Amino acid sequence: MVFLGLLKLDIYYSHFNINIVDYIDFSEILTSFLDDINIFLFCIIIMVIYTTLGSALFTQLMTKMINKSRERKINKDTIKRSLIQKIKRPLGIIISIIVTGIGFGLLFYFQKPWILIIVTLFSFQLILQILDLINSWTVKVNVDILYKPAFVLLFFLLTYTMAQLEIIRVETHPDTATITTDTEAFATSKDKVLIGKTDKYFFIHNKLTNSNQIIPTARLKILTIEKNKKQ
């Protein structure tokens, strides 16, 4: 969790050409995941339920559907059955890619956490299907072993997606901040936005010049932040 929290910060601030590791303390690294802990925990719970119950139910359902389909439409010809076995996995992957792609499109358009959770589950299923296909081409292993790399890939994807959503939010619907330091006073705008802060610094990004203003909190006198209502 700590690594994923730091990874999200690094992805987010790297977009604005800031090496965030230079501006945070070790204690902030340890707590960096807490902002998104509810999403992480909810996804973990859902995926645990999926891997213990949902996967078995899904497999049984798919087996019944395939058997019924074979009884109705497929004759006993060995060549046809072999062809179906070859295209079944790739076809399932293609369908999952389309559904997951639509999900990501809706996610980046509406930027809602509940859509992120749904897309995460579809992504998990897609990753498992791809790993299962690779497994069918190589040495056969127990399908349960595939869950470990699937979890790792999924949480990297989840972390990257949350960072990108935060970047989009800041660039399209930034908060309004009024800042007073020991030498100046100014307000942010659509071209000059507050992108974040740590215990010792806060960061202003200028979209027009693609430059950053990094101000130590020791110089801060007043900081007022008004949340954007379109978020």
Ordered DSSP codes for 1-70: -HHHHHHHHHHHHHTTT--GGGG--HHHHHTTTGGGHHHHHHHHHHHHHIIIIIHHHHHHHHHHHHHHHH
Which alpha helices (DSSP H) does 111-210 contain, by range?
A: 113-137, 147-172
Given pLDDT bands bounded at 50, 70 and 90, which one contains residue 195? Answer: very high
User: Considering only the top CATH level, what class is 175-231?
Assistant: mainly beta
Evaluate if residue 61 carries a pLDDT over 60: no
What percentage of the chain exceeds 90 in pLDDT?
9
pLDDT at 180 > cutoff 60 = yes
Structure tokens at 132: 């299962």
Report whether pLDDT(203) > 90.
yes
Break the chain into its structural domains and give their ranges. 35-171, 175-231
53 — pLDDT class (breaks 50, 70, 90): low
Q: What pLDDT does residue 139 have?
A: 57
Contact 120, 150 (CB under 8 A): no
78-126 tens-digit pLDDT = 555 555 556 667 777 787 888 888 888 887 777 776 777 778 778 877 7
Token pair of 110, please? 């509406």
Higher pLDDT, 129 or 206: 206
Residue 175 token pair: 């908060």
Average pLDDT over residues 163-191: 86
Residue 12: its pLDDT value, please?
92
The token pair at 146 is: 């595939």
Q: Which residue has the higher pLDDT, 162 or 127?
A: 162
Average pLDDT over residues 188-201: 89
Q: Which two tokens stand for residue 98?
A: 């389309």
Q: Above 80 in pLDDT, residue 21?
A: yes
Which has more confidence, 38 or 25?
A: 25
* Cβ burial, residue 127 (10 Å; 0-12/13-18/19+): buried
pTM: 0.68
13 or 32, which is more confident? 13
Structure-derived torsion over alpha carbons of residues 209, 226, 111, 211, reported in degrees to the nearest 10: 10
Reported as half-sphere exposure (CB side, CA atoms, 13 A), residue 98 has a value of 6
Per-residue pLDDT at 169: 85
Residue 27 has pLDDT above 70, yes or no: yes
pLDDT tier, 16 (very low <50, low <70, confident <90, very high otherwise): very high
